[in-house]
Amino acid sequence: MSHPHPELNLPPKLAPDGVRVVALGGLGEVGRNMAVIEHAGQLLIIDCGVLFPEDHQPGVDLILPDFEYIEDRLDQVQAIVLTHGHEDHIGAVPYLLKLKKDIPVVGSMLTLALVEAKLKEHRITPYTLGVKEGMREKLGVFDCEFVAVNHSIPDALAVFVRTPAGTILHTGDFKMDQLPLDNRLTDLRAFARLGEEGVDLFMTDSTNAEVPGFTTPEKDIAPAIDKVFRDAERRIIVACFSSHVHRVQQVLNAAEKAGRKVAMVGRSMVRNMGIAAELGYLKVPDGVLVDVKKLDNFPDHQVVLICTGSQGEPMAALSRMANRDHRIDVGKGDTVLLASSLIPGNENAVYRVINGLMRLGANVVHKGNAKVHVSGHASAGELLYCYNIVKPRNVMPVHGEWRHLVANAELAVQTGVPRERVVLAEDGVVVDLVDGRAKVVGAVDCGYVYVDGSSVGEFDEALLKDRRILRDEGFISVIVVMDSATGKVAAGPEIQARGFAEDDEIFRQVRPKIEQALADATGNGVTDSYQLEQVVRRAVGSWVGGKIRRRPMIIPVVIQA
């Protein structure tokens, strides 16, 4: 197996008979999926998604792929091909199109509808090309064929990219549900046909590679959802992704059976399900859907709410309900159904919401205590099937944390792919396919790009570190007025501390130390305000570290009078 190396240099110029693949996100993480394919001076982008922040990234709204690698080559981009409509595959499209608005966006009908609604909010009208399974489109030097795959959102596609220098089959996110709700199977016949033609590089979804066997069919969870609806005394609140059409369909069906009314809560949920219903992907039973404002007209035992927040996102509806910061007041007898799996890294946030809801008296049903969700990704058994059907010459696992990529790589080796032809790469690692061989040839800079309110990319690790210190360690400001004639302290030190359990009186103990440190500095000829501020910072930092065992943010201000 080819492993990325921390000391990788910039890659050499791509050989004329080569294809280059660079993932700008989605490798070593669950989310932010984006791959750039290059041949003959032209680029093709597959997916352009976002990653949601974790606890150690306070104040961050979204994390984008790093576009720096392609920023000065946007004229060479032939298209952005989107495999499906989940946020981790389409969420960053508006930010890329802000750099160049006329890059064509290619995808299935539902995927494009979800992207267009998102772009409308950013006041961007895209150039789109709608495709469906079985179609072939020439996008510059890239001849793309689209293959139906089954996933937790309708209309998902794999893409087979033919170039004069080699072929690439990118699965997108997929599973092999044999009893799909929409009767749209992963097209294994097409995979076999493409395998016969020859797949030089197979880029496969790794998210469930560690899970043995086969992913449970969606239809198997309907009885569990029906049971929740039968047993619920009062309202039922269902939390799922705002693009999980299949799950919402099952909830609507169960509500109709139980004689309940359903209201959608949250802007993205209302928007996405409106689009899905309009395009015929969501079948809404007559008289079941009502406006959330009219819920008061119905008794609690006839009400179902579908909202976002299944991953514990702080601003999503469910988290706000758990914090009593939402117009929906959750209480005793209410049933909350978390109809999604946990994205790695979100566990603590989700359990915090579950605990908050249970404290309010709600009965919380989730994947851990009932069969109310199945994954949208292929488990190990399905991936083995795919490797045996496709018989790829080289494999590059994508979409997943490092452990998922390694597990997927091992599956490929088990099916007979030579170990040296399985490429394990991280974001920014450059993989070249030349003469039928895929190899790591270098790396490009590829960091996190943070969206913080209206600012994009102006936010770095140093600022995040400052926020973490403020959150975890507290804050001390020290104001000192110096007499510029005598070099002595004229007023202060005035100390303000926030985020400390200790009484403010304790900070009086550090004043003599500050005064002494300043006297020593001025005695040695130091008069510059900035240097004197550093003296104050060191004196306070040393005292707080020893006395209180904390490392707060210290803001010294020295005024010369």
Would you list which residues are annotated within the binding site for substrate?
373-377
The encoded tokens of residue 42 equal 């032209």
What distance lies between CA 166 and its chain's CA centroid? 31
Q: Closest Cα partner for 397 from 373, 371, 417? A: 417
- Residue 152: CB partners within 8 Å, gap ≥ 6? 86, 173, 218, 241, 244, 246, 247, 375, 376
- Residue 519: CB partners within 8 Å, gap ≥ 6? 488, 489
Number of other CB atoms surrounding residue 59 within 10 Å: 14
DSSP notation for 91-106: TTHHHHHTT-TT--EE
Alpha-carbon dihedral angle through residues 501, 506, 511, 512, given to the nearest 10 degrees? -140
Strand partners, 337: 238, 365
What end-to-end distance do the CA atoms of the chain give, in Å? 67
Q: Closest Cα partner for 243 from 280, 269, 207, 277? A: 269
Known binding positions: 373-377
Query: Which segments of 78-161 does DSSP mark as H helices, in order?
Result: 87-90, 93-97, 109-121
- Residue 315: CB partners within 8 Å, gap ≥ 6? none
List C-alpha distances in Å: 15 to 18, 19, 43, 325, 432: 5, 8, 15, 58, 9
Distance CA 473, CA 452 (A): 22
Residue with tokens 């050989």: 15
